Amino acid sequence: MRTFTGEEFEDEVKRICRSLFSDSIGQGSEKIDGRERDGVFWNGSFFTVVEATTDKKKDKASYDAKKTHDLVAKKRSEGNMAQGYLVTLHEPTADQRAVVKKYEKTTKIISFDELRSLLFDAAGYLRIRSEKPFGSVYNHVSHTFEVPRSEFVAPTITRARTGEIVSVDHISQVVQHSARMIITAEYGIGKSMLLREVYFSLLKEFSQNNSFRFPIAINLREHLGQSDPVELLERHARNNAADPRRLVAAWSAGYVDLIIDGFDELSTRGWTGDHRKLREFKRNTHAVVKNLIKQTPSKSSIIIAGRVAYFDSDSEMREALGAPDGLFDHFLIQPFDSDQAAEFLSRKGRDDPLPQWLPTRPLFLSYLINKNLIKEAVTISSHGSFPEGAAWSALLGMIASRESEQSEGVDKDAILQFWGLLATKARQGNAIQKSFSPKEMDEVFHEATGNTVSEEERRVLLRLPGLGISPNDASNRTFIDVDFLNAASANLVISHIRYPYGDEAYRADLRSIAQQLNQVGTHVVCSMIETEGISPGLLSACLSKEIDEGNYALAFDLFFPAIFLGESQKYMKFEGLDIEELDICQEVWDSIRVKFCNCLISNLVLPPDGPLPLDLQFVDCLIGNIDGRSSERDLPERSFVNCEVGNFSSSYSVNNEVLGSELPIGVRVLVVTLRKVYAQSGISRLESALLRGLDHRSRMIAPDVIEYLRKHGFLVESGRQGKTIYAGTRSMRKDALAIIQSPATHQAPVLDACRKLS
């Protein structure tokens, strides 16, 4: 338990009293009648005399009470209204109350909590707020926000700039000391659960008088359209049965730590207008957050959290939120590794071993368990050239079969078609955040199957796996997992590839998407092409058709499957896309003629030296971050025309430093390979990208390093011969980050193996 010095306690008491009893600055300690007074305050009509003590002895209470009584009595005799307070750090003892009672007409003895509650009833607010929802913490099966704290498993948290691993306790401890930070994570990783734990940690410190500040936890989804931070705080107070004016006063006085969840929920990530206006749009949308941060006193801590891919770069995020580098640390929450996932399952009474392809996101695992799907999911085998895609196809097929067997009138194909169209409509906007009303779901089912929805079918749709209750409206449904959504939508893409020249209504939906398939969706497309024996030439023809007709978003869904399946392409132009990452450090680009126009690219990875492919060009693009180059001077003018770049990073210079270090060469290649694969969660790399930038000697041993990484579970291989794709595994992510951070001291079998390479 923290102990405060008498001086620290007196300062806090005076700060509160200035807010409560003073009409001008500078009031506080005075020497009157030869005696030191902790605080004397005048509000224009009333004197308040205050003494503060951390001492529990009755003699000290008696002395302070007599001193206060004398001054209050004097002020009253002079015709003034006056009142005295003796403020104790802890609840006054019976002895203290007894000795002060004789002066009760002039002086009251109160605890610090009682004084603070005159400014704001923090205890009352915290009691009610603790029972309210925290961000996206929600049980989509039982339809309640009441998810037990016992289900929380501490995730791996890394500092964005250095990769340093920090603990949940570290986050809670630094927030107690006026820290400011940004926390980002993928959807479903457990960001809101983490913030809830930090909130309760701060609440405990406040309740035990270890801190003078109390936490305020704000869900930004409840404040759409607000522009004034005071109005935001007042609405938050009313939502939690607190006095709005007094909560704002406590915030202004620096007695609040802010936990702000969901900066990504103030506006949509999907953008259909001019990308050059997007940053202005985001700045305007997040002005209320920026002003709230700006006006918060410096001694207050602030945590602001949201989804990792919402902003296009770290610099854009900091500018929009008003969270400058140097003042705000940036932390990333990583997906569960195998041990964390096992602990999470154990707390839910399960011991199922998870296959590598299955996401370890807590939200998704909880959903599978609550829907009684986990046993079937873990038994699905992954096979073929694209095992992750094959596993997801099998999972969706298995669930659709089970649902059709339990319900009359809804067959497996109808469920798959419904999922596919619903997921595609979700990709037309903000994907995972898009919710569908029962009426909209009826309409989608009719579009997908041609059948009018019966009452039985409607009941099936509303409880269909993969869909959960929307936190904003219990009658609406939303996709529970981003990979599930992409796998479902990939089924519709395959339908289009099979017969690219049809006129079915769903093709218009495919051509209206705003967000591209992620890695899972791409691998599902590749796997189904391979499994069904669809000619890659048909894929190529379909891609060409969509480009020729200007359907660039759909064409880009077909672009990477074509690359991974080894199809040569004619000249291609993509326009107006919103792309999370492009990795040009792969030799497949050398034979591709492609131009990106007016695109928003969050991260562009370029080779660190040498020319870019001759037929690759970016025109009028907004690029969040370019990795591999240090400034605009390093960009070939012919390849970049009128582009705006938010940030340049130098992971390749770090790789060069690693390769030039004194570490054993096998360890050097190991670290560089892990950096390329684990730099961004969810991104796979072609084998050629793992070899890029290595000298001749390093290239010689790289295949052995890759083989060791496969053997020890750090890499999963997919793709066809000549187009081998490697992806990191969720289960080994924590170990991979630890090796990257401390290759010389970390203990791991893969490190021991690589140290022997020469």
Task: Give the per-residue pLDDT at 270.
Answer: 45
Task: Give the per-residue pLDDT at 629.
Answer: 84
Long-range CB pairs of 221-230 (<8 Å, 24+ gap) are 221/135, 221/262, 221/265, 221/471, 221/472, 223/266, 223/288, 224/265, 224/266, 226/288, 227/287, 227/288, 227/291, 228/288, 228/291, 229/288, 229/291, 229/292, 229/295
Distance (Å, whole) CA 732 – CA 41: 61
Task: Give the per-residue pLDDT at 356.
Answer: 82
Q: Is 392 exposed, middle or buried (0-12, 13-18, 19+ CB in 10 A)?
A: buried
Task: Give the per-residue pLDDT at 269.
Answer: 43
Tokens 């050398």 found at? 590
User: pLDDT for 101-123, tens place per residue?
Assistant: 999 999 999 998 899 888 889 99
Task: Give the per-residue pLDDT at 625.
Answer: 87
Phi, psi of 28 (to 5 degrees): 165, -125
| Amino acid identity, position 142 | S
Task: Give the per-residue pLDDT at 465.
Answer: 86
Give the CA distances from residue 88 to residues 59, 203, 639, in Å, rounded to whole numbers and listed in that order.
Answer: 14, 20, 70
The string of DSSP codes covering 523-535 is: HHHHHHHHHHT--
SS3 for 449?
A: helix
The model's pTM: 0.82
Task: For the chain, list the domains and their CATH numbers.
Answer: 6-119 (3.40.91.50), 122-333 (3.40.50), 380-570 (no CATH), 571-649 (no CATH), 652-755 (1.10.10.10)
**Which stretches of the chain drop beneath a pLDDT of 70?**
1-3, 140-143, 267-279, 407-409, 568-569, 587, 650-656, 680-683, 721-722
User: pLDDT for 360-405, tens place per residue?
Assistant: 888 888 888 888 888 888 888 888 889 999 999 999 999 999 888 8
User: pLDDT for 446-504, tens place per residue?
Assistant: 998 888 888 877 888 888 888 888 877 778 888 989 999 999 999 999 999 998 888 88
Q: Is 406 exposed, middle or buried (0-12, 13-18, 19+ CB in 10 A)?
A: exposed
CB-based contacts of 714, cutoff 8 Å, min separation 6: 674, 677, 728, 729, 732, 735, 736, 750
Task: Give the per-residue pLDDT at 12.
Answer: 87
CB-based contacts of 320, cutoff 8 Å, min separation 6: 279, 282, 283, 286, 290, 311
For 717-746, letters b (16+ CB in 10 Å) and e give ebbbeebbbbbbbbbbbbbbbbbbbebeee
Give the CA distances from residue 10 to residues 16, 149, 206, 249, 477, in Å, rounded to whole numbers and listed in that order.
Answer: 10, 37, 17, 20, 54
